[in-house]
Structure 1
Amino acid sequence: MTQPTLKRCAAAFLLFVCAFALPAISGYAQTAATTLSGVVTDAKGGMLADVVVTVTATDSAAAIRTTKTDALGHFTLGGFNTGNYTVEIAGSGFRPNRRTIRIAAGQDQDLSASLVVGDVSQEVNVSGNEVGSIASALAPMDALLDARSARTEITQHFIQNFTSPIADFGEAVQMSPGTFTTNGNGVGLGQSSTYFRGFPDGEYDIDFDGIPFYDTNTPTHHSWAFFPAQFLGGIDFDRSPGTASTIGPAPFGGSIHLLSKNLSPMQNIRGQFSYGSFNTALYDGEYDSGDLLGGHKLNFQIDVHHLQSDGYQTFNHQTRNAGAIKMQYKFSDKTYLTGFSGVIQLDANTPNFAATRCQMFGAGTGYTCTGANAFFAGAGINFLLTDNTDPVNYLDNQYNKYHVPTDFEYVGLHSEFGHNFILDVKPYTYNYDNGEKFSNATPITEAATINGSKTYNGIAIAPCNVPVTKKGVTALPCAVDKYNSYRKYGETSNISQVSRFGIARVGFWYEWATTNRHQTPSDPLNNWANQALSNFNESFWTNSYQPYFEYEFHATRHLNITAGTKFSHYNIATKQYADDGKTIGGLGTNNPNTFITNSGTYSAWLPSIDANYRLRTNWSVYGQVSTGSVVPPSKVFDYAQSATGIPVKTLPKQQRSTTYQTGTVIKLKRVTLDADFYHIRFQNSYSSTLDSSGEPVYFLQPSSITKGFEAESNLYIAHGLSVYLNASVGRATYTGNLNVSCTAPCTAAPISVAAPSGLWVASTPSDTETEGVTYQHKGWDLGLFNKRVGTFYQDNGAYHNQATINPFSVTNMFFNYTIRSGGRFDQTKVRLSFNNLFNQHSITADSITGTAATQNIVASGANYVDPFNTVGQTPIAAGDNISILPARSVMLSITFGLSTKR
């Protein structure tokens, strides 16, 4: 080859290299195409499926690329070169979201968006689409078209915008139909109590991600432990025993299904600070990892927070440190592993004390009260029995200490196999550890003499348990050392198979728990020295299992019928040590190391059947017949033992219920409506009476009938403005008298306990109503909600309806503004909430302590005539221990969001 030829070849080679290298260096081309992916949600954070994503190049004639989101709202488009693009995201019933983005060479990009409901004026046919229903999309609470019982869905959007930042799960459901929640220390600051259809806590299930949680001594719950609002992603509230697959210790009145937060596909950091009434402060931080690893295999979320508050009630301080992590790993699109862990350290100074009517309101409101009574006025006012100079204030922090650590963990495996088989397995463990030291005071006002008196801060004090007999010496009341700890291990499993005929489900729940409990009189002035014999001291072990089977038969395109049954089995084995006579006695030796053992078993078959029929695509009706039972409290096993340890009394029957209900759900463009009728026959909670030997005889209260009507609706007005309403009317009354007989060693005639037919079951309101107005537009979420609770009655353990609780209302108001620009500060929010806006102090509960004859009360109004002792009793007597609505509280919250740039 000649030299000129070589030169020509070299020049051609250089031109060839430059032709490909220069554009790459200069940025006009890229070596690898770029991928655009993201997720589409509605304004409430719900993932939207089948939304169309269209990408068009704005600076060239590049072809249009289009795709749809999958069932989880995800989309992916690939093959983009460097340039500017217009992205349009559109779904039926929603206003299209358009934006312009710049894609750089070799840099995959995430682009997520939130769609808002389109205006009614737009020509969009959404009346047949539940997701596209404007009223449904904006409803603060709503029912589902495929409902088979009375259910209300409470979204994460509602919890984060229309409840206080420190609310607990009880306060999140209180606006639901037929439901009310009370908390005397302020929202989220202590134990709240929730009732619906007259069922108190302990007569319904609560679970988290399908795992039941409850105390071992009775199937009740602690709203201040395990799952604060910061851990919640929504609530499925079913006011019925559910279906055969509804597991738990008390599928009796219904189920509150708590749900963890959905994992975000986008990386995000959020920090929140809240401050408000009663010197309440909340510090919260959350990190979302977004989708990690190839194919979005790994995703996790971490939340940590600190809460502190003085509380509304005097000396009822609360401190909580908590953290939770949720993680998911996808082995494939059909198999993934999910794990959750939540840990809480709770400390409180809640007094073991309920204020009397006189202490709450004084003697100036129609009552003449005797004895030493001071007044309660809420935060900042000493709650004393004598006067504000008394240094031996048994409500002081040093005499009331609660330390309550809890943890909750599970690992869940979900896998889809051939022939449409789906397997879900979820082993779990959780622990509750409640250590308390609290005073057990009785006011001392008599002149007296004390042997062995000592001084405290210069004032003579009586040692614990020493009678007061000397004038001028103040007696320090006894205290109690209380401990209740349990650890549980369990698993839930379910395998289902989908066919053209329907869905078959077979499952199993098993749980084993160990519990240690004691209450011992103690002397707080002597290093909390405990009395030798406790009030009770016991350990027990429980086993629960519930296998079930149900079949959801798709009879026609419009009719689904689900029938099934479960077998509920419960066993307890107890070890009870000698005590001071409060529970089992000294066992003949008064040696605290001696003990007796006992055991008991309860089993029940619980069938159910329901049907859902679609009259139209947006209108359904349903009917249900379902049965439920309740795990009995451990106290029913505290019955007399023979010398050989063989039980000599029979266990009481198990609580059972049968619920009949029918309802309808309809979703139109502007209106949603769901309504239901219910009729429930149930055997009530346990009560007891003493036999001739002084031993308690436990029995079920007489059967009762609860029936009523519930309805809820959301009406869309315009431009994000909606009106939400729900109401219930009902009646729950006993059906007849009850006779209780005990076997040996009863030496007298059988015990008869009369329960006059027609009296109301306690804590069952005659009616409830919720009125709400919401405005949800762009970044604004504004809400005003009022809950009214009608008249109900309370008993002192019998069935006399001694106390009447008059109707009361609580009104809450919320202002929220959230940045939803998709930029760096996406999800930054300012939040202002008012609870008990009108500062009502209505009475919400009454623990009846005596009769008018023993309290020296003068009161106006009609008296209730006790049919047993004919002593006049006022609806609320001066000596009754009562609860009231806490004062108005205001919280200002600021959340700082930092997201990846989209």
Structure 2
Amino acid sequence: MKTCHIRAHARGLAMGASVLALCALADPALASALDKPVAAKDAAPPLPAAASGDPQTQTTGIAEGSDIVVTATRANEIAPVTASLQEKQPQSIISRSFIEDSLPASADFNQIALISPSVSNTGAANGVGLSESKAQIRGFQDGEYNVTYDGVPFGDTNDPTHHSNTFFPSNTIETLVVDRGPGNASQLGQATFGGNINLFSRETRENPGVELKGTYGTYNTYLLRGVAQTGAIDKLGGTEMVFSAQHIGSDGARTYSPFYSNNVFGKIVIPVGPHARLTLLGTYNENSFNQPDNDGVTLGQTALYGKYFSLNNDPNTQDYYKYNYTHKTTDFEIVKFEADLAPHSTFENRAYTYSYDNETLSGNDVTIYGTATPTATTAAQIAAAVTAANVTTPTQGGKAVLGGVPGYTKTNKYRVFGDIAKTRLDFGFGTLTAGAWLEFSNTYRQQRDVNLIDLSPNYVEKAVTNPLTGAVTPANIKFDQKSHTNHTEEFVELELRPIEGLTITPGYKHVDFERKIDALYNQTTRYAQTQQNTYAADLPFAQINYAITPKFSAYAEFAKGFLAPPLTVLYVANPTLSTVAPERSTNYQAGVVYHGQNLSLDFDGYKIDFTNKFNSFTSPTPGVGVIYINSGAVTYKGLEGEITYALPRGFALFANGSRNYAKTDNPGQPQQQVAKAPEWTAAGGVLYKNGPIRFSLIDKWVGHQYFITPVGTVPAGTYDSYNSPTYQSNGYNTAILATSYEFRRHIRFGLEIYNLLDSTRVTSISQGKAATGTSGVNSVFPYDQYMFQTGRQFTGDITVVF
């Protein structure tokens, strides 16, 4: 049994090449050469290994946990998702081949990660990759886990949430690894808490080539993409470069919701002598689309206009598509230097910067249009209510001026700078890795009320006076603030190899995190404030992996997690009264991995204790306002597994699944499954790869969940087809059929049918205001906003390689 070594790490160093490419999983010739070692031919030039030994434990480059090592078997050759024999926590490795062969080219990274056990997905209601989605891992929500790109954590600066189609479209991703756990000491990020989605950039190749792709499909969606590889340039010492450009255009699945995106990407790998390498990477992305800032369709709108209603063509309403427009730009740059300092020591430094700029125009409340209320039940009454809500804009003088449409402008822009440095020393029976991460950010955010017709000020906010200066806040300003973060982490971990096949890795990390607001008009309070909070944590880790045989390994992990409070805790009049501390998690998990010639499987169990849940309340004392506290705990536990069996003639069957508990654990209160935490997930399918033909039929199920954490006992029989008013979902599934044919190794024709069974179930509900005079679990909330699955989508594509 031979192994395919990927010169990369799930928690840091760039992935070499995709698991599929490195193991030649896309190359049928590998099937006849599985008895030979598989080299990382397409990876960046490797630095000399600091140590040699058992291929199951050997590491190259800077250790950030175990190298990802994929056993070259027929099962792993075709598996859409697999695991490493060296993993020390539950992990799913998703290759470039799965991205290319089984998903529409417009898919975002959350839709790629969805194939993994315990991963669920909400949003994306406008079509695949045509609006943002949110992923959940074991019930942990976006902002409670890390997302990294080539080892650099990224996310918003007010809390560590992510924009799935804004930074890294699929043309910039070679491999994606889902770590279902906080990782080890060198796993960096603000949310070393609920897991990690690790993205790895497109790799350079030794040989030159150009790939051109064009796709067209449902909703008049088209994609144009080009990827160029220079190959190794001898005159530049073997320098390799890859460049990519992509454009997406679509009318969108929802009414009056077009989407346009442009992306450019480049990466240069420069050998600096025989023992060092410099990597330069940059990407720029631009998205433009029409969508309300607070998105979702009400049940009233659904009844009148269908599940895919979003905007309209009536300039007298807040739902007019030209009044709801967003333009986003991002960039992301990394300069990475790697060097062997001595035969047994390696150094790496990764400096980076990235930015995000969101400029939005939106209606104040798009739920009004077509939504019935207790006093407006007939069509005429509804029309009158909509007109009244959309045509009056009070002026500063208090007079009503007809003809206005209320809305607001929004800016959210930030720039982040950071540096990650680490060194590794191999002393034969062990490896010591130590390093530090420094990061700071500057953010500007604002919202102002406007008349959407001419963008003149709309003075509708409540009167506010600064309690210190007596200054009166203009009634058209919601907030105008600058904020900053300073974040440092120092870590050390020791990988011990006392006997062949056994690694024991204790580690320790110290975190210091500071937030600061310097607001002209702070959010919520709406007057000038300068406030800051500092948080610290000491996080121990311990992991073990034992290769029982060359085909079978077992692992276990203990790890502490940390999540700093969001910026909202500083949106208060008296921040010193808040006692909120960082959320904490204690993670215990263990599992096994087996890679036989035709069978690949892994299985694990986990238990996570989550404490210090963020909560807030309004003080009954006049003038005190909102106070943030920690109150609440959640217990996460479950079982997860994956299996692939390779059949003769290029066929394979695969399945994975999870049983997940994520229940509140508060004294004196009943345990409840928390919101947006499915009780189970499952995936399965059949795949075929032989000669020029590739085929896959895959289905992913997301099980029963609540969209809002229930209070008390939910009455039986109150579930209806729209999952309201008890906010439950019996689950939903997404089946994908994909097939392609390669003609003379230069032209490939493909067809993907996303959501083959045309499921249009609810995937998310945002609770709105209740109808007057109603309360309790069976209340009707006509302003709740729903997200539905997008129906069946067809995509045809052609790829030309030369």
The interval holding the TM-score normalised by the smaller chain is 0.7 to 0.9
* Contact persistence 1:620–1:666 (CA under 8 A): yes
Secondary structure of the residue aligned to 1:464 is strand
Give the one of 615, 620, 623 matched to 2:548.
615
Partner of 2:329: 405
CA distance in 2, matches of 1:635, 1:355: 23
Give the one of 630, 633, 636 matched to 2:566.
633
Correspondence 1:479 to 2:412: no
Q: Deviations over 1:833-876 (max 9, x none)?
A: 11111111111111122557746xxxxxxxxxxxxx7x3417x8
Partner of 1:231: 172
CA distance in 2, matches of 1:661, 1:360: 45
* Contact persistence 1:653–1:700 (CA under 8 A): yes
Residue 759 of structure 1, CA deviation: 1.2
Partner of 2:537: 604
* Contact persistence 1:329–1:338 (CA under 8 A): yes
CA distance in 2, matches of 1:41, 1:599: 42
* Contact persistence 2:393–2:458 (CA under 8 A): no
Residue 251 of structure 1, CA deviation: 0.7
Matched AA of 2:365:
A
CA distance in 1, matches of 2:434, 2:698: 41
Matched AA of 1:892:
G
Residue 295 of structure 1, CA deviation: 8.3
* Contact persistence 1:329–1:337 (CA under 8 A): yes
Give the one of 168, 189, 199 matched to 2:108.
168
* Contact persistence 1:851–1:873 (CA under 8 A): no
CA distance 1:271–1:74, shift in 2 (3 Å):
closer
Partner of 2:588: 660
* Contact persistence 2:174–2:203 (CA under 8 A): yes
Residue 211 of structure 1, CA deviation: 0.4
* Contact persistence 2:750–2:796 (CA under 8 A): yes
* Contact persistence 1:338–1:413 (CA under 8 A): yes
* Contact persistence 1:170–1:223 (CA under 8 A): yes
Matched AA of 1:46:
L
CA distance 1:631–1:783, shift in 2 (3 Å):
same
Partner of 2:798: 894
Secondary structure of the residue aligned to 1:44 is helix
CA distance 1:68–1:136, shift in 2 (3 Å):
closer
Q: Deviations over 1:210-249 (max 9, x none)?
A: 0011000110000111100010000111010000010000
Partner of 1:842: 761
* Contact persistence 1:47–1:72 (CA under 8 A): no
CA distance 1:465–1:159, shift in 2 (3 Å):
farther
Partner of 1:28: none
Q: Following superposition of structure 1 onto structure 2, how do residues 587-736 of structure 1 map, counting pairs within 5 Å?
A: 595-641=528-574, 647-683=575-611, 685-692=613-620, 693=622, 695-736=625-666
Correspondence 1:883 to 2:802: no
Q: Which 5+ residue runs of structure 2 have no aligned equivalent?
A: 1-15, 30-35, 46-68, 377-386, 460-473, 715-725
CA distance in 2, matches of 1:718, 1:142: 19
Task: Report which stretch shifted further, 704-713 or 838-847.
Answer: 838-847
Partner of 1:766: 679
CA distance 1:298–1:688, shift in 2 (3 Å):
same
Matched AA of 2:412:
N
CA distance 1:269–1:850, shift in 2 (3 Å):
same
Secondary structure of the residue aligned to 2:647 is strand
Secondary structure of the residue aligned to 1:315 is coil
Correspondence 1:560 to 2:500: no
Secondary structure of the residue aligned to 1:395 is coil
Q: Which has the larger radius of gyration?
A: 1
Correspondence 1:155 to 2:74: no
Give the one of 44, 57, 73 matched to 1:133.
73
CA distance in 2, matches of 1:553, 1:851: 59
Q: Deviations over 1:110-131 (max 9, x none)?
A: xxxxxxxxxxxxxxxxxxx953
Partner of 2:723: none
Residue 476 of structure 1, CA deviation: 4.5
Correspondence 1:332 to 2:273: yes
CA distance 1:190–1:433, shift in 2 (3 Å):
same
Partner of 2:230: 289
CA distance in 2, matches of 1:734, 1:391: 46
Secondary structure of the residue aligned to 1:45 is helix
Secondary structure of the residue aligned to 2:21 is coil
Give the one of 236, 250, 253 matched to 1:309.
250
Partner of 1:370: none
Secondary structure of the residue aligned to 2:760 is coil
Q: Percent identity?
A: 26
CA distance 1:555–1:361, shift in 2 (3 Å):
same
Q: Deviations over 1:418-453 (max 9, x none)?
A: 141111101011110111111113638999xxxxxx
Secondary structure of the residue aligned to 1:160 is helix
CA distance in 1, matches of 2:605, 2:228: 44
CA distance in 2, matches of 1:247, 1:607: 14
Secondary structure of the residue aligned to 2:97 is helix
CA distance in 2, matches of 1:504, 1:214: 29
CA distance 1:793–1:70, shift in 2 (3 Å):
closer
* Contact persistence 2:394–2:458 (CA under 8 A): no
Partner of 2:121: 181
Give the one of 856, 864, 873 matched to 2:778.
873
Give the one of 802, 806, 823 matched to 2:730.
806
Q: Deviations over 1:316-338 (max 9, x none)?
A: 22111110100011123321100
CA distance in 1, matches of 2:230, 2:369: 60
* Contact persistence 1:625–1:659 (CA under 8 A): yes
CA distance in 2, matches of 1:202, 1:493: 25
CA distance 1:355–1:233, shift in 2 (3 Å):
closer
* Contact persistence 1:162–1:814 (CA under 8 A): yes
CA distance in 2, matches of 1:797, 1:599: 34
Residue 648 of structure 1, CA deviation: 3.4
Q: Which 5+ residue runs of structure 1 have no aligned equivalent?
A: 1-39, 54-66, 77-128, 363-373, 448-457, 587-594, 642-646, 738-754, 856-868
Q: Normalization by structure 1: what TM-score?
A: 0.74
Partner of 1:46: 22
Q: Following superposition of structure 1 onto structure 2, how do residues 112-123 of structure 1 map, counting pairs within 5 Å?
A: none
CA distance in 2, matches of 1:324, 1:354: 30
Secondary structure of the residue aligned to 1:706 is strand
Matched AA of 1:525:
I
Q: Deviations over 1:288-329 (max 9, x none)?
A: 101102585211011011111111112222111110100011
Q: Normalization by structure 2: what TM-score?
A: 0.83
* Contact persistence 2:443–2:484 (CA under 8 A): yes
CA distance 1:798–1:433, shift in 2 (3 Å):
farther
